[in-house]
Amino acid sequence: MFDAVPATSATRVHPALQPVVEFDADLIARLSRNGPRYTSYPTADRFTESFGYRDFLHAVADLRTRGGGKPLSLYLHIPFCDTVCYYCACNKIVTKNREKAATYLAYLKREVEMQGRLFAGMNEVEQLHFGGGTPTYLSDAQMEDLMAHLRRCFRFAPDAAGEYSIEIDPRTVSAERVHGLRRQGFNRISLGVQDFDPDVQRAVNRIQPEAETRAIIAAARDADFRSVSIDLIYGLPKQTPATMRTTLDKVIDAAPDRIAMYHYAHLPHLFKPQRRIDEADMPDSDTKLRMLQLCIERLTAAGYVYIGMDHFARPDDDLAIAQQQGRLHRNFQGYSTHADADLVACGVSAIGAVGATYSQNVKTLDAYYDALDRNELPVARGARLSMDDALRRTIIQKLMCQFELSISAIELAFPIAFHAYFAREMAQLAGLERDGLVELAPDWISVTLKGRLLIRNVCMVFDRYLATRGPATHSRTV
């Protein structure tokens, strides 16, 4: 429906080739505010129940009418966990009853089959991601069965061409299980670590010895996983710059390909498990900023490229290369190298993006099972993008992924005169330019090294829904 923005000039020096971000604590303290992470635009809090199952069917039909030549990205949500981590804000079900997972798997396979039939003839998958919860809550046999079912319902690109990833909790898998995941077709693995400090781990109810994590990383290397990622969190209870430095030293020594360094959003009024965290143990804002600065300095000094938001990658990693080549994309799983893929999502609460639409599944098991028992996909809400939505989504994507925007490229792709259409936004950007976040030229908007950490602030300028959103439920931008 909407044309892609043409590539920017090859003669221009791409910002991603400068693996530096400038930390300005005073600027961050002054400008940080609540705002979206822009894994989509419009953001998920703007989805409505007026978009349902039949609207999704129409979106797939539109895709087929237009040729359906793009590859697919599949997301599967496995909501179960053995234990609760107090910081967690994911849609999850904590249970020791494994029968619940068996029932869920039967329904999940039914949804996968329905989606496979819908996309028949245009269903080659180049990207697969298992998230949760803890996807490895499923047994090895259950995972084997599910992966075989996926291959019956969809065509998968060869291992060398596809990106097939799974999130794991190192406490719940063995080295043998890691090798089993590789045999089942996964070639990227992401480990939840959060922090190696024992006191921090106890404060968030996630005891995870370093040796245990290192053994799983070694197993992933031995099993020939193409990429190993580690997730960390700063701003957790009992964290200090000293404990964070120790954790970073251990992570750098483990040498993962990618590192995600998330800011903990303490929202106990929204997420019940967070109420178990002692408020007296929480680091203050100044301490959190010093920890963030330390993370950036240590990781860039160790050779990692700052991709954006909270992501770092080795210079030879696919993410860093995609950013240099202008192919980086952002979706509900974070940064991605598959910009042109339609995202098909299965499981409770999963969010997909097909054509010019977003759709989200129901959030409870009962509602999920009821919809599938009616032979309907469990779509609860979503959004159909207008031209204005698609235009703003493209702009936000470019800024989030490339830190710059070619105004002439936007005008070639959309029927607008940029400076007239975005007169209000350009006036706001002029204020951010005075703050040192962006540089404005007649044909370019460029995010400065200082502005990269506040990229969400820059993108919020182009979000027309913010003024009508009501009370903010988003995390701080830094």
pLDDT at 350 > cutoff 50 = yes
Residue 87 known to bind ligand: yes
Average pLDDT over residues 147-168: 96
Query: Could you tell me which residues come within 8 angstroms of residue 279 by beta carbon, excluding any fewer than 6 positions away?
Result: none
Residue 230 known to bind ligand: no
Residue 167 known to bind ligand: yes
Read off the pLDDT band of 16 (50, 70, 90).
very low
Q: Which amino acid is at 353?
A: A
CA-nearest of 280, 283, 192, 193 to 236 is 283
Residue 334 known to bind ligand: no
Residue 416 known to bind ligand: no
pLDDT at 477 > cutoff 80 = no
- Counting other chains too, the contacts that 365-370 makes at CB distance below 8 Å and 24 or more residues apart are 365/79, 365/93, 365/100, 365/104, 368/107, 369/103, 369/107
As a whole number of angstroms, the distance between CA 420 and CA 425 comes to 10
Read off the pLDDT band of 472 (50, 70, 90).
low
The reported pLDDT for the residue numbered 37 is 86
Cβ neighbours of 280 (radius 10 Å): 7
Query: Could you tell me which residues come within 8 angstroms of residue 113 by beta carbon, excluding any fewer than 6 positions away?
Result: 149, 153
Kindly report, residue by residue over 425-451, the tens digit of the pLDDT: 999 999 999 999 999 999 999 999 999
pLDDT at 3 > cutoff 60 = no
Task: Express as a percent the part of the chain with pLDDT over 70.
Answer: 93
Please state which of the ranges 55-59, 163-167, 206-210, 269-273 shows the lowest mean pLDDT.
269-273
φ, ψ (nearest 5 deg) of residue 368: -65, -50
Average pLDDT over residues 153-167: 95
CA-nearest of 190, 439, 445, 452 to 309 is 452
Task: Express as a percent the part of the chain with pLDDT over 90.
Answer: 72
pLDDT at 460 > cutoff 80 = yes
Average pLDDT over residues 352-359: 94
Residue 194 known to bind ligand: yes
Kindly report, residue by residue over 237-288, the tens digit of the pLDDT: 999 999 999 999 999 999 999 999 998 888 888 888 899 999 999 999 899 9
Residue 161 known to bind ligand: no
The reported pLDDT for the residue numbered 398 is 92
Do residues 146 and 187 lie in contact, with contact meaning Cβ atoms separated by under 8 Å?
Answer: no
As a whole number of angstroms, the distance between CA 207 and CA 16 comes to 36
Q: Is residue 202 classed as helix, strand or coil in its secondary structure?
A: helix
The reported pLDDT for the residue numbered 28 is 87
Residue 304 known to bind ligand: no
Average pLDDT over residues 204-209: 93
Residue 210 known to bind ligand: no
Average pLDDT over residues 307-313: 88
Read off the pLDDT band of 22 (50, 70, 90).
confident
Read off the pLDDT band of 324 (50, 70, 90).
confident
Handedness of CA 238, 239, 245, 249 (dihedral sign): positive
Q: Which amino acid is at 177?
A: R
Average pLDDT over residues 459-473: 78
The count of C-alpha atoms lying within 13 angstroms of the C-alpha of 406, restricted to the half-sphere facing its C-beta, is 17
* Average of per-residue pLDDT values in the chain: 90
Residue 89 known to bind ligand: yes
Q: Which residue has the higher pLDDT, 272 or 190?
A: 190
Question: Which residue bears the tokens 């060398």?
Answer: 160
Please state which of the ranges 309-323, 426-440, 449-463 shows the lowest mean pLDDT.
309-323
Cβ burial, residue 461 (10 Å; 0-12/13-18/19+): buried
The reported pLDDT for the residue numbered 128 is 96
The count of C-alpha atoms lying within 13 angstroms of the C-alpha of 116, restricted to the half-sphere facing its C-beta, is 14
The reported pLDDT for the residue numbered 145 is 97
Domains and CATH numbers, the chain: 15-36+386-467 (1.10.10.920), 46-346 (3.80.30.20)
Kindly report, residue by residue over 97-152, the tens digit of the pLDDT: 889 999 999 999 999 999 999 999 888 999 999 998 899 999 999 999 999 999 99
pLDDT at 470 > cutoff 60 = no
Element spanning 77, H or E: strand 72-78
As a whole number of angstroms, the distance between CA 234 and CA 244 comes to 8
The reported pLDDT for the residue numbered 364 is 96
Residue 81 known to bind ligand: yes
Average pLDDT over residues 43-61: 94
pLDDT at 41 > cutoff 50 = yes
